[in-house]
Amino acid sequence: MHIYAFVSVRKLLFISTALAAIFASYSNVAQAITAKVNNFTNSNWLQGIWRQSAGFSIPSNAANQAAFVPGTSVRFADSQARKITMAFVLENSMSVYVDGAQLDGNTVGYPNFVSTGTTTDAAPTAQVANPINLVGVNLAGADFSGTAYPGVYGTQYIYPGESYFKKYADMGMKLVRLPFLWERIQPTLNTELQSAELARLMQCLDYAQKYDVKVILNLHNYYRYYNKQIASSEVPISAFADFWQRLAQKVVNHPAVYGYDLMNEPHDTNGYWPQAALAAAKAIRTVDENRWVFIPGDQWANAYYWPNFNNRLIANPWMRDPNNNLVYEAHLYIDEDFSGTYTNHSEAFDPMLGVSRVKPFVDWLKQNKLRGYLGEHGVPDYSPSAMVAMDNLLNYLGQNCIPMTYWAAGPWWVNYPLSLDVDSGAARPQLPILQKYARNTSCSMIGPELHNLSKITAIDDTHAGQIYRLYQTAFDRLPDEAGLDYWIDQMDAGVSLQRVAQGFINSNEFQQRYGYATNNQSFISMLYMNVLNRQPDPPGLAFWQNRMAQGVPRAEVLSAFSESSENKANAAKKALSQ
């Protein structure tokens, strides 16, 4: 985050009682998405409520598509709660089906609203054998008072204690980015690390190991050392590389180390950051060949403007080699100036703002077949719309297997609106959202670089997994790389799975396979045989015949078969055998 002179954080004053009151008034909104039931009535619908079974229709905007997914609880105008079983998008409307008895359109239909449950109602995700941690926190403190060199420990800066590692591990967030200052751990360039400061850092690693937490070590210096830029005569690039080699030598055998985060938010680097990053990464590789090296982008690592400033970062082929285990790191805040200061307390945020701001970074990663990580993102506790935007952002990151660490947590934050730890003890609306996505166990590798062609996509609940299964459902084959990449990009841009399925149906390959299925019964029977490898059971056949007779299109049926639990199990078995 852009805090240049973090003079003792205890001096940061916030009106905690006012924030608590604001949070209390908005807490319910912050944890739910509300949609108005569509206004139409015909032989199948009564004021937007399905007449034949438990279902309803709402607008198919991006926020609704992200929120109203199978497994999520919803609450209707009469206060009854149901769980979503299926959801399909058709042009501007979204049909959502729930468990239980038929709904009463006169009671819960238009002009009433329906809301998702709290953000703790996460949709289930497929679990891989060794899932990565997709959600973590920045445990700040050692980076405080950044202009006090070296500063007085316990007065001007602090390392997080054991309780913080336990707290977030217990919440399922077992990834920690640990910021610290270069001047404190190496007061003089090209010399041994300061023993007391190194001991504090090692103590944090011991705490992390105790609770099975992985730590990313972050040099929080903004491309400066005693306020002198790297690549200057006072701070040569060789000294920067020397520091990382020395630190790697000290921690290489510690099991809690997840990776090395070269520099927090480099900016105004005069074009030297690519050269400095390359030298430091190579220096680490002389000591540690395996752990991740996190490469932040120039100009504050801004995710939205990433492609404008960071193509030179990968000009050297070594920085693109997947065998070097490099991860590119962006930061993202959704306030109007991208700074994370959130000075305008009345600012309202579009539900998809986080997604739109991170997408240029993700697209750049995909284009260059690289891995990515969102090192910082945070939202203020007083803004319900910011919570919705963060929820959608984390969903999108999870779809692409991109980990993130929330800014911030740890000691001394007083009542900072972004912090997960505040003196007032007020509930933190950010936490349920983080915990929701911390339970995502569908990714075995940092993405998106290796995700598209991984066998694990057969059981992922990501866009990659959905497209993988649709290829096998429609064509009974593995996806080709170009086709897989194309359709994943389409879904990342907001195209629904049903629209993708319609594209498959329109293809020559599909027509050759299914073209002779001239009626609904033949089409359904062929899906059972080609997708589930069995004859249709009478109740299943009758169900789908009835649905298609009521106007459900073949694309919706195809996508439903593709995403059925039976097909997911079959796809997983097939993937393991290939």
Domains defined for the chain, CATH in brackets? 9-14+124-438 (3.20.20.80), 32-116 (2.40.30.20), 455-577 (1.10.3130)
Comparing CA positions, the residue from 223, 327, 328 lying closest to residue 272 is: 223
Sign of dihedral through CA atoms 412, 418, 423, 429?
Answer: negative
Residues 6+ apart with CB under 8 A from 436: 119, 120, 121, 122, 391, 394
Indicate which residues carry an active-site annotation.
265, 376
Say what the pLDDT of residue 68 is.
Answer: 85
Neighbours of 300 (CB within 10 A): 24
Decide if 286 contacts 241 (C-beta within 8 A): no
Say what the pLDDT of residue 460 is.
Answer: 64
What is d(CA 245, CA 250) in angstroms, rounded to the nearest whole number?
9
Output the six-digit token pair for 163: 């309780």
Say what the pLDDT of residue 154 is.
Answer: 96
Say what the pLDDT of residue 128 is.
Answer: 60
Decide if 459 contacts 571 (C-beta within 8 A): yes
Place of tokens 């209707």: 76
Sequence letter at residue 72: T
pLDDT block averages, 10 residues each, the chain of length 578: 37 31 33 76 88 87 82 78 78 82 87 66 50 96 92 97 98 98 98 98 98 98 98 98 98 98 98 98 97 98 98 96 94 97 94 94 92 98 94 92 97 97 94 94 79 48 83 81 79 87 86 72 85 85 91 91 82 58
Say what the pLDDT of residue 209 is.
Answer: 98
Say what the pLDDT of residue 329 is.
Answer: 98
Say what the pLDDT of residue 183 is.
Answer: 97
Residues 6+ apart with CB under 8 A from 3: 146
Decide if 73 contacts 117 (C-beta within 8 A): yes
Sequence letter at residue 546: N
The torsion angles phi and psi of 561, rounded to 5 degrees, stand at -60, -40
pTM over 0.85: no
